[in-house]
Structure 1
């Protein structure tokens, strides 16, 4: 509790307040406001949070800048503000003692699976049914690329429509978003665009490909002043997501970790008093989505080291993938409190006293297509066919089974020889 109390007191030091410009397209960093220089005791508290979350530790540099800032140099103060901005969000006190392992909150079992000896892995099933291609694409579309064909491509669209129907029934409004975003928006959402370990694709123009529609949805509200009566404001989007993934782990082969994929994302703007309840609603919506799909899955409460920079707390959902014999993450939802809103200038006017305050933001994955396809095909395989979950059949003209695709010819590697 002491950590939480100190963290709340230190919040102005954790996050850089952005001055509000008239440009609502991007959250542009102007001259930073003059914040009080953090004390040594405050920096000790911040460093404990940084280490707890396994974040990059820039506290030694901040200490040095804080000492130099005593003379009030504008350049030093600006550098100090920028370094403070790189610190991670506060950490929910519930997860402080989790160590490095998540807590399993629940397991949901909806299907009896056949013996392990008869279960095939996704790529084996999809290739046998001529519905998928990932081999020999390195010199064509790049590694970690893939084609979905025939009924598997139709199943992808069915999942998207099923998810949209579900989330819009919970009050989410659909927005179509761009895939190309300013670097400032992506970094304000908590994803670094520079450095060796960045997952962001950068364009020659200086802009970036969006890693998730959460970023575009958050950017849509940059520098917006809302009324409290408008909150919680819930939106959803279907988008292509781009990730410069580099994993070579055997268990993450195939379409488990790819450079681009489709996803249905949920995003909400709310008050500080609403944010924890909103996160629970996101979590319950996701659980219901996968329950109705008939998957076996589990709900995890994530430890500090798995929260990234922006999340205050996060739930993950992992489905059992019987062909791979592993749990695989298919969804998550996070409460980012005011971490993103401060950087993007998303504020609202409080009804009680008219004061303008920073909003809170919540995000969650309704469906991330590739991993969900793995879980579905491996769980619903029936010999030489795949059963279609009942809730998806209305979006596939009542079709009950996926069988071998005979309409699209099988593809083979062809060597091009120069004359």
Structure 2
């Protein structure tokens, strides 16, 4: 049902139609010298992603190089490699934001703790014996964690609540793979095998070439539709997935301490395949869905329309939702949603047909629940001076109607023994 039919596609280069594996990026726009100032400004606003000067140089070289020459294929390959690295266009309103995001709305008020100074998540879980993050050398590296007892139940409750809510809104749940080839990952806008990559690679000598751990279910969901065409009257397609996300990134920033930034975590992701005329509306729909999911949890949040330098290569526009974390006395990002327009669909060849012509769909994504940061905000917001943690009423049915989280007495505090060899 999801895939209507497959079609081999062709890249239009000048007057020639080449049966190739290259994506059909808009050469009419990116390689038009009249658009150079606009593209260059966009690149500069977005952390310098892409080299438009080099793209134009290669394009001009291709036009003057014989297709039968030995160098033509090499130049063509390099041209498309550089072309695909150029960032998406930026929403006209966002172009005016400068360096700072714009606050769209706020949800719930900050909790008044009176004379009680709220504790950080790590202190709460240490006192209640609900988590372990240190001395994990026997099982895993740093930036990892164990959840115990009711904290592990809390994780499952958040997943079930989120999935149930999305199903009620017409999303279709899909179970996705966590190991992907580089073509899917790079087509979604991430880099592999570079100094700045966030992607874990598997050892090619042991596991086969070109295999990587997925950083988000968005990649697998987008890859599911590679080389497909969809009837326009079946759009939008609304999908959701629960997956483990793997990130190689690290941080020594104080505000990202503890489990705020970790190497693996569970996330519920939304993904929408949209008609181009509907993608702006679909982005607002995802944002509103996120607000509807988070507001009943009782945490204070602000919704931000992000400036160009925060977009990354694929996004045309992106909203972030930041939750107040009282123990840290700071906001932390718990969710984002992006309209990638046709950036991913061109690289993955995902099209729609309106009865007359095939064209590229727009893809959108949004975090429905990222567990570690959501737990930080929930536990810090709903803590009481006497040590118990209140569970929001909307989550209680997913935790056997428990109203509070108390000290874990089931799993004892663990002590590592020094073993003499």
Question: Aligned pair in 2 of structure 1 residues 219, 29: CA closer, same or farther (>3 Å)?
Answer: farther
| Aligned residue in 2 for 1:258 | 262
Preserved contact between residue 105 and residue 300 of structure 1 (Cα < 8 Å): yes
Q: Counterpart in 2 of 1:132?
A: 131
Aligned to 1:284: 288
Residue in 2 that maps onto 1:66: 59
Moved more, 315-324 or 32-41: 32-41
1:209 counterpart residue number: 213
- Do the aligned partners of residues 365 and 29 (structure 1) sit closer, same or farther apart at CA in structure 2, a change above 3 Å counting? farther
Q: CA RMSD in A?
A: 1.9
Match of 1:171 in 2: 170
CA displacement, residues 101-154 of structure 1 (integer Å, 9 cap, x when unaligned)? 111111122453303752000000011101000011246300100000000000
1:104/1:328 CA distance change after superposition, 3 Å = same
Aligned match of 1:11: none
Q: Is the 8 A contact 1:55 1:309 kept in 2?
A: no
Asked if the contact 1:111/1:296 (under 8 Å) is kept, the reply is: yes
Instruction: Name the counterpart of 2:362.
Output: 360
Return the alpha-carbon distance in structure 2 between the equivalents of residues 31 and 282 of structure 1. 31
Aligned match for 1:271, one of 275, 278, 285: 275
1:195 matched residue in structure 2 = 194
Residue aligning to 1:379: 381
Q: Structure 1 regions of 5+ residues with no counterpart?
A: 1-17, 22-27
Spell out the pairing of 1:256-335 with structure 2 (5 A cutoff): 256-335=260-339
Per the normalisation by structure 2, the TM-score is 0.89
2:236 aligned partner: 232
SS across alignment from 1:299: strand
Partner of 2:21: 30
The answer to whether residue 35 in structure 2 is matched with residue 42 in structure 1 is yes
2:368 and 2:417 map into 1 onto residues whose CA distance is: 39
Runs of 4+ in structure 1 displaced over 6 angstroms? none
- How many pairs were matched up? 393
Cα distance, 1:344–1:140 mapped onto 2, change above 3 Å: same
Match of 2:392 in 1: 389
Deviation larger for 44-53 or 328-337: 44-53
Q: Is the 8 A contact 1:237 1:264 kept in 2?
A: yes
Q: Which runs of 5+ in 2 are unaligned?
A: 1-6, 11-18, 67-71
Match of 2:104, SS state, is strand
Give the CA deviation at 1:100: 1.3
Q: CA deviation at 1:253?
A: 0.8
CA distance in 1, matches of 2:418, 2:259: 25
Residue 19 of structure 1: CA displacement? 5.6
